[in-house]
Structure 1
Amino acid sequence: MDVGSQGTRKGEIIGGRYRLTESIGKGGMAQVWRATDLTTGRDAAVKFLRPDSEDLHQLNTHERRAELDMLRARFRREGILLGRLDHPGIPELYDQGSHQGMPYLVMRLVTGMTLYNFLAHHAPLPLTVAAAAAAQAADALACAHTLPVVHRDLKPQNIMISDEGVVALLDFGIAKPLGMGVTQYTRHGSTLGSRGYQAPEQILEKEPTTRADVYSFGCVCYELFAGRAPFVVEETKGLIEQHLHQAPLPPSLFSAGIPEALDDLMLGMLAKDPEGRPTVGEVLDVLRSLAPRPGDPEPRPRLRHDPTAPLRFPLDRPSERRPKVSTVSAPHADEEWLDARVVERLCEAAEHEIQEGDPEDAVRRLGDLAVRARVEWGSRRPLVRRVWELAAEGLRLAGDCGGAARLYHGIAADLVHGDGPQERADLAILRLRVAECRLAFGEIEAAIGAIEAAGHVAAGLPEPLATRVEEVRHEVDLDVTERLADPGTAQG
């Protein structure tokens, strides 16, 4: 009988809904089970945090407790990120909760073969097959980077080719949202990522940007196209030294038929300086030009897990509506009307999360309810604006820059009424917050414009309101100054 690390067993029902059927994977800090959703009948993947890993047993009691707290926080953040990433190449989040004191995530089950095993069975790959797999993975990575989120652990073992040929990015366990107020869940002296795929800045324990993912993905692409890693252990040089100091050879030296544009792309992705690497969008442009198109013939020999299939037959690609993540105390989607008392309690919970500096579930649920509250209650009910403001502030602090910017913009456009001093101050602050969030996407000039405009508004306001505007204006100005002084922190 399958037994999990925290005592979970085959046949056990999790959250009153998911029956565990078999253990399908175990990593250093997590275990994944296949489960049957008793409500829908479909299979799902249930990921548990492992509290009994070997690494934890080597720590003393105090260190183990601190490490577990950090891992739980990472696990919660992974759930938040998966709940926001909407792409066929990223397994969507179905549900989350706690079982026997340990958190779990329920996700779409991806059945197929890891890219690691695919390469072991089929390398060297035809150019179109490699390009199809790389282009699909790059498209999913581009979705994560628009939030923006850094995966931080891209490697063939964390990329899956499904039975239908859809390439999926797995394991966002150490992924990190970029932006203001993001809590760090990393111990000093710990280097995240996997050996042989870490960007130089990760090896040196510098703060990674999306360009770190581009480097790691460059290592993966090199294996796809060249049939080998860009660096291998040598007698005189180890992997770390090569990743830090040695330029890779063009992949065309190891595999015939690689065009010059692809050589240039791989070498650019593996540049030591993050600013010398292309963005994932630029990577995707090159890969798409080499990938199969609708109607192209299937590869020979035929592949069971064929990454060209979704590109050759895009209309046959299965589409599935994202299931709504269940929430215990938030209003359900099938209720006829929102209950104002429930929403008020949710606002109180969100305020507490924000005050504690750890916006999580309540903030996320408010964000999910914001549009519905506006539709049902109109734009002038104070509770509606409170929902939108708390959700925006919480998402901003959680690093969800895109979600926060949309909410701040919505408040400014629809929930601020009148043109008195208070309203002018509110609008100036909201526009500053939008600009602050958009800084994560590299929009520095827009932020500078918002800072200047807010200064003109503040000059015409009475003292208390002017002070409020100037405080936020100063925050955004400092952020802009830091980004201009350190280009490496800009969005890649």
Structure 2
Amino acid sequence: MDTGTLIAGRYRIKHLIGRGGMGVVWLAHDENLGRDVALKTMNVDPGLTEEQRARDAERFRREAQAVARLDHAGLATVYDLGEENGTRFLVMQYVIGPPLDDRIVEEGPLSIEETASIGVQIASVLGSVHARDVVHRDLKGSNVVIRTDGVVKVLDFGVAAFLDPDTTGLTTTGERPGSLECMAPEQVQGKPVDPRTDLYALGCLLYAMLTGEPVFTHESELMLPGMILEQPPVPPGRLRAGIPSELEDLVLQLLAKDPDERPAHAGEVWRRLAVWLPERRTPEQALLPWAEVDPLRPFTHPMGPEARPVRAWATSGRSGRAGRTGAASRRNSRPSR
């Protein structure tokens, strides 16, 4: 697909955003409503049989249905689903912000407060989708985006599993949907998944946020499945001092090989993480401009108004003391590493 291509008479392709196992994501402009959107097209492998193509097409359709029937602030809204010249496409909300894995690479280990602030938001999303019999199955750092206002969005339900017994399974025997970096042991073995599979992946993300390192790593990816199945994770406290013992216990419980040894549900994870959320700050601070992504903001200033962009403040005639105070506030409130 080329830049400038018009899809369905309204979505103008701007540029490529990324590629995944199920499709390609483009930034497009909805010319009817005058807004940017994320447009995902389904990959079609020329070597597939007609049966395999039909199964992949059905899985792609189910992605749209899975997310469209969910309603949570931490999910990207589905706008449209269609087909253009044999290419199936899904149109969703375009979420602006860095992926979690990029933030970890740039910042290194995150503060305890930031880890909790991101973790409870992911747990809230998982609690909502699990209650509707959906399991993400591919939760990883690149599928978690932190908006500039600190709100976390969980993306890409392309390999979501449906737990409704009346729903026909779309995964054939031997398939292992998902990415190895946060894949649970039962996925590696090709066993049935349930909500605790996503909780294992959340444990992987918490581990990476706290230590700056993945749970398992090897120069050969072929070694990872065996490590996931057999090797116990190094306790995060050995890689970083100062991690509360209760938080380390939670992470290691999430990473249990046996799903029965993990927390029972996402609500329990939310409750145990919420202990380390940041304290609420003063309303005056909520009105100060900021330039950096701040995952603490939804908790330090819950339901706070969106601050005007820094440049707008600088030209509004109110910038002098407010701008300097804002910068000082950011320095003073920045969590210690």
1:250 aligns with 2:243: no
Q: Which residue of 2 aligns with 1:165?
A: 150
Alignment of 1:267-306 (within 5 A): 267-278=252-263, 279-295=265-281, 304-306=292-294
Q: Which residue of 2 aligns with 1:316?
A: 304
Alignment length (residue pairs): 299
The partner residue of 1:33 within 23, 26, 29 is 26
1:50 aligns with 2:38: no
CA contact 1:30–1:49 (8 Å) conserved in 2:
yes
Deviations along 1:434-489, whole A, 9 cap, x unmatched?
xxxxxxxxxxxxxxxxxxxxxxxxxxxxxxxxxxxxxxxxxxxxxxxxxxxxxxxx
Q: Which residue of 2 aligns with 1:425?
A: none
Q: Which residue of 2 aligns with 1:22?
A: 15
Distance in 1, matches of 2:35 and 2:10, equals 11
- Aligned-pair CA distance for 1:200: 0.9
Deviations along 1:345-392, whole A, 9 cap, x unmatched?
xxxxxxxxxxxxxxxxxxxxxxxxxxxxxxxxxxxxxxxxxxxxxxxx
Distance in 1, matches of 2:133 and 2:87, equals 28
Structure label with greater radius of gyration: 1
Deviations along 1:238-257, whole A, 9 cap, x unmatched?
32222112222321221222
- Aligned-pair CA distance for 1:64: 3.2
Identity across matched positions, percent: 38
Distance in 1, matches of 2:233 and 2:189, equals 19
CA contact 1:161–1:167 (8 Å) conserved in 2:
yes
Residue 272 of structure 1 aligns to a residue in which SS? Answer: coil
RCO (CA 8 Å, sep 6+): is it higher in 1 or 2?
Answer: 2
- Aligned-pair CA distance for 1:110: 0.4
CA contact 2:41–2:90 (8 Å) conserved in 1:
yes
Q: Which runs of no fewer than 5 residues in structure 1 stay unpaired? A: 319-492
Change (3 A) 1:37 1:271: same
CA contact 2:144–2:153 (8 Å) conserved in 1:
yes
- Aligned-pair CA distance for 1:234: 8.1
Distance in 2, matches of 1:174 and 1:66, equals 18
CA contact 1:128–1:290 (8 Å) conserved in 2:
yes
1:135 aligns with 2:120: yes
CA contact 1:218–1:269 (8 Å) conserved in 2:
yes
Q: Which residue of 1 aligns with 2:311?
A: none
**Residue identity matched to 2:190:** E
Please identify, of 153-162 and 36-45, the stretch whose mean Cα deviation from structure 2 is larger: 36-45
Please identify, of 18-27 and 271-280, the stretch whose mean Cα deviation from structure 2 is larger: 18-27
- Aligned-pair CA distance for 1:108: 0.6
Distance in 2, matches of 1:143 and 1:232, equals 31
**Residue identity matched to 1:281:** G
CA contact 1:110–1:162 (8 Å) conserved in 2:
yes
- Aligned-pair CA distance for 1:196: 2.7
1:239 aligns with 2:232: no
Residue 212 of structure 1 aligns to a residue in which SS? Answer: helix
Change (3 A) 1:137 1:221: same
CA contact 2:22–2:158 (8 Å) conserved in 1:
no
Q: Which residue of 2 aligns with 1:262?
A: 247
Distance in 2, matches of 1:28 and 1:180, equals 26
Distance in 2, matches of 1:258 and 1:135, equals 17
**Residue identity matched to 2:43:** R
- Aligned-pair CA distance for 1:221: 1.0
CA contact 1:127–1:257 (8 Å) conserved in 2:
no
CA contact 2:135–2:198 (8 Å) conserved in 1:
yes
Greater fraction strand: 2
1:206 aligns with 2:191: yes
Q: TM-score normalised to the size of structure 2?
A: 0.83
The partner residue of 2:58 within 73, 77, 96 is 73
Change (3 A) 1:127 1:108: same
Alignment of 1:64-463 (within 5 A): 64-233=49-218, 238-278=223-263, 279-295=265-281, 304-316=292-304
Distance in 1, matches of 2:304 and 2:17, equals 28
Deviations along 1:51-86, whole A, 9 cap, x unmatched?
2xxxx24x3xxx432222111101100010111111
- Aligned-pair CA distance for 1:303: 7.3
Residue 18 of structure 2 aligns to a residue in which SS? Answer: strand
Change (3 A) 1:70 1:250: same
Distance in 2, matches of 1:29 and 1:151, equals 14
Distance in 1, matches of 2:146 and 2:54, equals 33
CA contact 1:36–1:44 (8 Å) conserved in 2:
yes
**Residue identity matched to 1:46:** L
- Aligned-pair CA distance for 1:172: 0.1
